[in-house]
Amino acid sequence: MLAGGLAVLARGARAAPSDLIPRGKIFSAPDYARVTMSPDGLTIAYLAPVEGVLNVWVAPVADPKAGKALTKVTDRDMLTQLWWTGDSRHVVFCREQDGDENWQTHCVDIESGSTRPLSPGPGVKSYVQEVSARFPNELLIAHNQRDKRFFDIYRVNAATGESKQVFLNEEFVELFTDTQFRVLYGLRYRSGGTWDIVKATGPDAGSLFRNVSVDDRYTTALIGVSDDEKQAFWLDSQGRESAAITAQPLPTGKPRVLVENRSADFSMPILDPVKRTPIAASLIYTRRRWYTMDPAIGPDLDRLQASIDGDLCDFNLSNDRANWIVYAEPTAKPGRYFHYRRSDRKTTPLFSTRAALDDAALVKMEPVVVPTRGALRLVSYLSRGVGIEPGQPGPMVLLVHDGPWTRDSPDFNSVHQWLANRGYNVLSVNFRGSTGLGKKIANEGDGEWADKMQNDLLDAIEWANNERISNELRIAICGAGYGGYAALIGACLTPDRFACAIDLGGMSNLLAFAESIPEYWKPSMPGLKVRLGADGSSEAGRKFLASRSPLSYVGRIKCPLLIAHGVNDVRVPVAQSDEFVAALQQRKRPVTYVTYKDEGHTFRRPQNRLSLAAVAEAFLAQNLGGRAEPVGDALAGSSIEFRAGRDLIKGLP
């Protein structure tokens, strides 16, 4: 029966070889990323490849094609985030080493081209805390050199590199500062998973500013304080189902609602770059919608929505708000960047993020709402495979997102496009525990790993089977991080449901995971305990975590597995996969296991991404019957090491 099903699926999913989009066009570094307007509105900074690796570039707004590379990093892509200092002279960026997530902050002078570190390294994690128009060549940086658990705040001069500590942090998970570079508040967890925001400095340091309950901890956050220090702004679900944006008069006023919507949580808003007041924010239920909080820009957003093909996804603007950089995504096309000039309401195209895919036969990602046995309705996204006729069940990949406290969205998804082009229907599900869709769905994931969270995925498969989207004999479950864990637990607990599974850096042993978290996660452990349902501090907790761990059920696995892991992963140590693969081998279960010595939880070397895609593509074609591009030289230049099962995948060199 399985062989017959494979033959039918292979015919149904087949398309002309010329329709096969080369992997390199999908998984190479984007042509342009994180295009950001300078405060003076004259220059744009962005990330673009130099010999295939993302580097910092700048160009005049008036001549965007005259870009020049300011850095020449060769080892791996940078963090895809950029900051300008207030003088419009320095671009700030972050780098790590071999995936260790110890992001070191640097800046580059756009006039001289000189680059300098702004935080210590290696082995020290840092992030940009605050950039202010009040201090043109300075910024606040947080790093954990003194104590790996906590991040102290430093005032740093971008032009000289001079650094001065302004706050020594011995208790707070997160700190909140203002545009005058003062530390105002700190966040700390209580033992039950709730958290307090308290005043961090001054005569009343330690006094409570706001307590956030367990029910609201996913959906409430302090956005920041206005430049005039008269208001604090919140993502705020207290007293409502989803996160509204509220404004609280300081010092102790009652928050008032600026915008709210019951269907989904608002994202972090776009702030006025000088006043630091919210001007617009989006939310996504199935599609993205924008709401304005500053009437002055409402007409601008309306014009942009009318003039741009597709969804407006993001924008940033100069200090005087006269020049905007806008990012939009057309339907079934790569994203586009535009320059919007308010003076004459002119929108000028700048860049395509992936020009090689502009004319490719990409597919539309369809929003679908999936019912579950528990009456939840889960926002999900479906990409239909090339060559699969409507109403004809096809091979399907259930693609599970990481986090799990994040969500799938309608944004352009390279993995969806790759798999759909290879002849697979692709389904991504916002299972309970996902965020962005209100606090009920987010909170219902607490303690439900391998239980109700997994049931949501199984219910989505049942829906896809009933809708004649998937063939129940040819379904793969795949994911990274939590998605990898879901793939393993799915293969363990429902061994007849999946034809194969792919795990990238997933947890196999939850007790070991809880005991090996990075030092800077430990102050948040009360919250993680609530999410996991237990920790290892009691015998009952250890038994519970074991009962939710794939390692406890490894003997039930029947389907072939592909497991990949970055050796330097600090979130899920590679020992998790080592132990699981050893248990599989002892039981003679089919597993292919690859590692990368220069990667962590997220793969940032283009050669490594390409090699993993080639191996995964061959693995899926062998087990689901879809199309595959020959592996060719896709492994060249990568650090891939086959620790088990290379011979189990046909076509590998």
Could you tell me the CATH number of the domain that includes residue 373? Answer: 3.40.50.1820
Q: What is the pLDDT of residue 18?
A: 64
- Whether 257 maps to a domain, the answer reads no
Specify whether 331 is located in the same domain as 457. no
For tokens 């063939």, the residue is 471
Specify whether 432 is located in the same domain as 386. yes
Alpha-carbon radius of gyration of the chain: 25
Tokens of 248: 């609280």
- Region for 328 from its dihedrals, namely left if φ exceeds 0, alpha if ψ lies in -120 to 50, beta otherwise: beta
Last residue of a domain, one of 331, 353, 375: 353
Specify whether 320 is located in the same domain as 398. no
- Whether 157 maps to a domain, the answer reads yes
- Whether 347 maps to a domain, the answer reads yes
Residue 113: give the domain boundaries.
32-166
Query: Would you list the DSSP string of 268-331?
Result: PPEEPTTT--EEEEEEESSSEEEEESSGGGHHHHHHHHHHSSSEEEEEEE-TTSSEEEEEEE-T
What are 506-533's pLDDT values in tens digits?
Answer: 999 999 999 999 999 999 999 999 999 9
Specify whether 336 is located in the same domain as 369. no
Specify whether 381 is located in the same domain as 338. no
- CATH of residue 40's domain is 2.120.10.30
- Beta partners for residue 234, in sequence order: 222, 246
Specify whether 412 is located in the same domain as 479. yes
Specify whether 54 is located in the same domain as 161. yes
Q: Is the dihedral of CA 37, 272, 288, 432 positive or negative?
A: positive
Tokens of 68: 């020049």
- Whether 573 maps to a domain, the answer reads yes
Residues contacting 63, CB < 8 A, separation 6+:
none
Q: Are strands 90-95 and 104-109 parallel, antiparallel or unpaired?
A: antiparallel
Specify whether 479 is located in the same domain as 594. yes
Specify whether 418 is located in the same domain as 556. yes
DSSP state of 384: P
* Domain count within the chain: 3
Q: What is the pLDDT of residue 10?
A: 32
Last residue of a domain, one of 136, 166, 196: 166
Alpha carbon 256 to chain centroid, angstroms? 30
Q: How many CA atoms lie within 13 A of 313 on its CB side?
A: 18
Specify whether 306 is located in the same domain as 412. no
Residue burial 575-597, b: 16+ Cβ < 10 Å; e: rest: ebbbbbbebbeeeebbbbbbbbe
- Whether 96 maps to a domain, the answer reads yes
End-to-end alpha-carbon separation of the chain, Å? 31
pTM of the entire predicted model: 0.95
Q: How many CA atoms lie within 13 A of 363 on its CB side?
A: 27
Specify whether 129 is located in the same domain as 113. yes
- Whether 239 maps to a domain, the answer reads no
Specify whether 103 is located in the same domain as 56. yes
Last residue of a domain, one of 147, 166, 185: 166
- Whether 607 maps to a domain, the answer reads yes
- Whether 9 maps to a domain, the answer reads no
Tell me which residues of the chain have a pLDDT lower than 50: 1-16
Q: HEC profile for 419-473? A: HHHCCCEEEEECCCCCCCCCHHHHHCCCCCCCCHHHHHHHHHHHHHHHCCCEEEE
- What is the biggest distance separating any 2 CA atoms in the chain, rounded to whole angstroms? 76
Q: For the beta carbon of residue 82, count every other beta carbon within 10 angstroms.
A: 22
